[in-house]
A and B are shown apart, each in its own frame.
Chain A
Amino acid sequence: MAADYSAEPILKVENLSQYFKVSRDFTVKAVDGVSFEIYPGEVYGLVGESGSGKSTIGRAVIRLYTPTAGKVSFKGREISGKLTNEARDELRTRMMMIFQDPMASLNPRKTVGDIIGEGLDIHKMYATKEERKEKIDNILKKVGLSPEHYNRYPHQFSGGQRQRVGIARALIMNPDLIIADECISALDVSIQAQVVNLLKDIQEETGSAYLFIAHDLSMVKYISDRIGVLHLGHLLETGTTDEIFANPVHPYTRSLISAIPLPNPEVEKKRVSETYDYYTSGIDYNVGSNHLIEGTHYVFGTDEEIARWTGKAGA
C-alpha cells in the first residue's frame, strides 16, 4: 500500500523533548523540540549520527519513556500524557518496536518461540495451541528462520538471526505502526535485502506504517517515502527521499550523504568526505525556524543561513 497523504497522520509528534538528568550538574537533552508526522502506510526514515536521539524518539513515542515536553498522538489519540487503559492497550498491540540491541531486548531465559508468541499470549490472539504454533512457525519462515529454531534460546543464534527474532516478534502482531530501530544494520547485505523486501511486502499486505531508524543511507533511501535528519536532538531537515537526496541543503545532511561508503575499493581508498563539526560551524540549533524549500522539503536554520545554504545569499 502506498502512503495515504489525504488521511489523518497515524502518528503526530509535536515539539517532543526528552531530557535525561545524568547528575546534578549534567542533563542530556537527548531530544529537543522535534516535530514530524507519519501517514498511514508511509515509511518515514529517521537518520542522524550516533547519539542524536533517534532511539530516544522511538522509545518516547512507544512510551518506554514519559516525554519531558511536547505531544504525541497515535491514530488521533494523545498518548504522551497520562494513559487510559484503553490507550495503553491500543499502544501495546497496534504499535510495535524492533529494538536496536537484539541481545538486550530478548529474554535470555525464554525460547525463541515463546519470545515471539508473547504478544499473542498476553492479548489472547489465538483460539487453540495449534493455531498459536502455526502462527509462530509461519512468521519464523517469513523472516528467514525455520520452525526448528522454535525451542532455541537467543544466545544460540548468530547476531543476524537474533535480529530476525526481534522482527518476527513485532510482525506477528500485525501492527499499524512499526518502529524499526536499526533493525537491519546487524544483518548482512543479502539478508538486509530480504528483510527490506519483507518489510515492504508486509506493508503492502497490511498497510502498516514504519518509523524506520537507520544510519545506512543507501538503505534508507531505498525504503523511505520521506526522511528526517536528526542531529544533537534537533530535526534539521525533512522532505521526500528525492528532495533530500537530490538537493540536500543543511551542511550536516550534505556531510552525511557524502560519507556513504561505496563498494568500490579504488574510489573508497582515495576518498575524502565532506566534514561537519557543529561546534566550529557557527551554527546554533537553538535559534532559527523551519523554512520551506519546496514541496514537503523543510530545513531548520536562520534566514541568513538558509539563504547561504541555498545559494541565495545577497539576492
Chain B
Amino acid sequence: MEEKDKILDIKDLDVSFRTSAGTVHALRGVNIDLYRGETVAIVGESGSGKSVSMKAAMGLLASNAVVNGGQILFRYKNEAGEIEEADILKKDKKWIRRNINGRHMAMVFQDPMTSLDPTMQIGKQITEGIIAHLGVSKKEAEERAKALLEEVGITDAEKRMRNYPHQLSGGMRQRVVIAIALSCDPDLLICDEPTTALDVTIQTMILNLILKVQKERGISVIYITHDLGVVAKVADYVNVMYAGKIVEVGNVNEVFYEPAHPYTWGLLSAMPDLETEDSRLYTIPGSPPNLLHEPKGDAFAARNEYALAIDEKEHPPMFKITETHSAATWLLDPRAPKVEMPEELKRRIERMRKEAE
C-alpha cells in the first residue's frame, strides 16, 4: 500500500480579530491533520472557531483578522499530476483565489446565500467556474452543470438553471452550492454545516453523494457539523473544538464510545436521542468563554464539574490515549484522581454498543 499522503496540515494556528470592543482571540493554537481520501469532522460549540479555522485554510479570513502564528500546509495535485505544497498563510489572497479556491479546495458554507450571487441565474453560476477552471466550451459546461444538478437531486434541472437563488428553497440553494463545489473536481472539499438546512432524507442523499464522489475521485473531506448523527455516518476521524483549541481528537469510534474530555461528555449527553423522555434536555452549564477576555488555564474549567485545581492555572497539554486518540484534560494526567464519565452517558453508550452488535 501507498504511504498515507497528508493533504492538509494545520499547525499551531493562532488567529485574533480586532473589534471595537477589543481583540477576540478566536484560534489559540489549532492543530488538524488530514490524509488523502479521508474524512475528518470538526465538532464543537458555536463560536469555538470551526469556521474561522477553515476560512483560514482557504485564505478567506476577514480583513480584521490577525494571524499571530502557525502554518497551514496544503498538498495538492497540480495539472501534471504531481504533488505540490503551498503554505496558505504565506501566499497572497489573489494567488490563492486564482490557483487554489474552487479548483483544488472547495468550500460549502453554512449559509448558502453567502456563496451565491443573488442577481445571477444559478445555471450561470455553475458554468462560470467550470469554464474558468476546466477551460471547456459553454455548451459542455452547461451539460456538466445539468448533470451535476441532477446528481444532487434537483428535479427539472434544465428549468431550474434559469432560476435566481431567491426562487429556490433553502435546501435547494445548498444543493446548488454543493454542485458548484464538486464541479471542478477538487482535492479537498470543506463542508461547513452542509446539511443543516436539509431534511433527513435529502441529507442522507447528499451525504451519500459526497461519499460516492469521494471514493471515485479520492478526495478528502472536512465536515463541520453540529449533528453527531452525521459525524457518526461519515467521519473517519473527529476533532472536538472548544474556545479556539482542539480538545479531543480520535477516530470516530474512540470519540463516540470512549470519549475522554468532559466537554465531549457534555456534547454527547446533550443530544436528544429518540428515547429521551425527560422534560428538559441536558445542557452544559454556563456559556462558552468570551474570547475578548481570554481565560487563564483550561478554558472549559468554569463549566466543568470535574475541574481540578490546576485547571484554573494552566491549560492542559494533549494527553495521548492511543496512537490515534488524544485529549487535552488534566484528568488524564497520571497524578489526577480517577474520574469517570457521567452514569447517564455511560448507559447511553452501552445502549449504543448493544445496538451495534
Report A's interface with B, CB cutoff 8 A: 20, 22-23, 26, 28, 47-52, 55, 100-104, 144, 146, 148, 151-152, 155-161, 182, 185-194, 196-197, 200, 215-219, 221-222, 245, 255-256, 259-269, 271, 273, 275-276
Q: Is B66 an interface residue (CB 8 A)?
A: no
Query: B157 to nearest A CB, angstroms?
Result: 13
- Contact call B197/A103, Cβ cutoff below 8 A: no
- Chain B, 1-59, CB within 8 A of any chain A CB: 17, 19-21, 43-47, 51
Q: Which of chain B's residues has its CB closest to A278's CB?
A: B155
A260 is contacted by which of B172, B274, B353 (Cβ under 8 Å)? B274
Q: A187-B46, A188-B267 are in contact. List 6 more A-B contacts (CB 8 A).
A: A28-B167, A158-B47, A186-B196, A191-B46, A197-B280, A262-B232
Query: B28 to nearest A CB, angstroms?
Result: 15
Residues from chain A with Cβ under 8 Å of B284 in the complex: 190
The distance in angstroms between the C-alpha atoms of A2 and B252, with both chains bound, is: 40
The distance in angstroms between the C-alpha atoms of A197 and B287, with both chains bound, is: 14
Residues from chain B with Cβ under 8 Å of A189 in the complex: 226-228, 267, 270-271
The distance in angstroms between the C-alpha atoms of A166 and B21, with both chains bound, is: 22
The distance in angstroms between the C-alpha atoms of A245 and B170, with both chains bound, is: 26
Residues from chain A with Cβ under 8 Å of B274 in the complex: 218, 221, 245, 260, 262
State whether A148 and B21 are in contact (beta carbons under 8 Å apart), knowing that A51-B171, A197-B283, A273-B204 are contacts in the complex: yes
A55 is contacted by which of B170, B229, B270, B287 (Cβ under 8 Å)? B170
The distance in angstroms between the C-alpha atoms of A50 and B266, with both chains bound, is: 30
Q: Which of chain B's residues has its CB closest to A274's CB?
A: B201
B170 is contacted by which of A20, A22, A100, A196 (Cβ under 8 Å)? A100
- Contact call A215/B282, Cβ cutoff below 8 A: no
- Contact call A159/B110, Cβ cutoff below 8 A: yes
Q: Is B82 an interface residue (CB 8 A)?
A: no
The distance in angstroms between the C-alpha atoms of A151 and B170, with both chains bound, is: 29
A263 is contacted by which of B51, B170, B171, B231 (Cβ under 8 Å)? B231
State whether A146 and B290 are in contact (beta carbons under 8 Å apart), knowing that A156-B19, A265-B253 are contacts in the complex: yes
B356 is contacted by which of A103, A200, A264 (Cβ under 8 Å)? A264
Q: Is B256 an interface residue (CB 8 A)?
A: yes
Q: Which of chain B's residues has its CB closest to A157's CB?
A: B47
- Contact call B230/A261, Cβ cutoff below 8 A: yes
**A-B contact list, 11 entries, CB within 8 Å:** A50-B197, A51-B171, A186-B110, A187-B46, A187-B226, A188-B43, A190-B267, A221-B274, A262-B229, A264-B355, A275-B201
Query: A60 to nearest B CB, angstroms?
Result: 14
- Contact call A255/B201, Cβ cutoff below 8 A: yes
State whether A193 and B46 are in contact (beta carbons under 8 Å apart), knowing that A256-B199, A259-B203 are contacts in the complex: no
Q: Which of chain A's residues has its CB closest to B153's CB?
A: A50
- Contact call B113/A101, Cβ cutoff below 8 A: yes
- Contact call A49/B228, Cβ cutoff below 8 A: no
- Contact call A266/B253, Cβ cutoff below 8 A: yes
A100 is contacted by which of B43, B197, B230 (Cβ under 8 Å)? B197
- Contact call A259/B201, Cβ cutoff below 8 A: yes
- Contact call A265/B252, Cβ cutoff below 8 A: yes
Residues from chain B with Cβ under 8 Å of A255 in the complex: 201
B46 is contacted by which of A104, A159, A266 (Cβ under 8 Å)? A159
Query: B138 to nearest A CB, angstroms?
Result: 21
Q: Which of chain A's residues has its CB closest to B227's CB?
A: A261
Q: Which of chain B's residues has its CB closest to A270's CB?
A: B356
Q: Is B182 an interface residue (CB 8 A)?
A: no
- Contact call B229/A197, Cβ cutoff below 8 A: no
Q: Which of chain A's residues has its CB closest to B174's CB?
A: A50
- Contact call A159/B352, Cβ cutoff below 8 A: no
